[in-house]
Amino acid sequence: MAILQSRSQKKQTGARYKDYRKRKKFEMGRNPTMTKVGDTKKSSIRVLGGSPKTFLLHVDTVNLMDKDKRCVKTKITSVLENDANRNFVRRNILTKGTIIETEKGKAKITSRPGQEGGVNASLI
């Protein structure tokens, strides 16, 4: 069954809304990407308007912003903390706000790996 991002079928009281039309393409959603640490693997889909959207399935490097506002590409060694879900640490899943261990030190992810084609982070 399709994932939808439309209005709920139930009212706040528990009563049901009457259907006045079928589901529409622009209301569709997707399963979360769950970007993992590993050899880089990307995927892309066609989104509304015809543009391609690239998202990461696996990634092993990060664009790291240091204290001097310089960007350096470094390797991800492991996932240390994830506020989104504590089980994501064991499974090495990257989301925005995840604290990772890199070759340069600890860093916090500032981009959305499941929605964008790259991973950006800043040193802690």
The verdict on residue 56 lying in a domain is yes
With a pLDDT cut of 90, the percent of the chain lying above it is 68
The verdict on residue 16 lying in a domain is no
The verdict on residue 89 lying in a domain is yes
Q: Which pLDDT tens digit goes with each residue over 68-97? A: 888 999 999 999 999 999 999 999 999 999
CATH of the domain at 99: 3.10.290.70
CA–CA separation, 26 vs 43, rounded Å? 21
Widest Cα–Cα separation across the chain: 58
CA–CA separation, 4 vs 66, rounded Å? 40
The verdict on residue 65 lying in a domain is yes
Contact in structure between 84 and 73 (CB atoms under 8 Å): no
The verdict on residue 88 lying in a domain is yes
| Confidence check: pLDDT of 66 > 90 | no
CA–CA separation, 35 vs 13, rounded Å? 38
CA–CA separation, 24 vs 31, rounded Å? 17
Q: Residue 86: what are its φ and ψ, rounded to 5°? A: -70, -25
Q: Give the model's pLDDT for residue 25.
A: 87
The verdict on residue 81 lying in a domain is yes
Domain count, the chain: 1
State the alpha helices, DSSP H only, in 1-124.
87-91
The verdict on residue 11 lying in a domain is no
The pLDDT-based confidence of 1 (bands split at 50, 70, 90) is: low
Strand 52-59 relative to strand 99-102, pairing: unpaired
pTM of the predicted model, to two decimals? 0.83
Strand 106-109 relative to strand 52-59, pairing: unpaired
Domain interval for residue 86: 34-123
| Confidence check: pLDDT of 62 > 70 | yes
The verdict on residue 1 lying in a domain is no
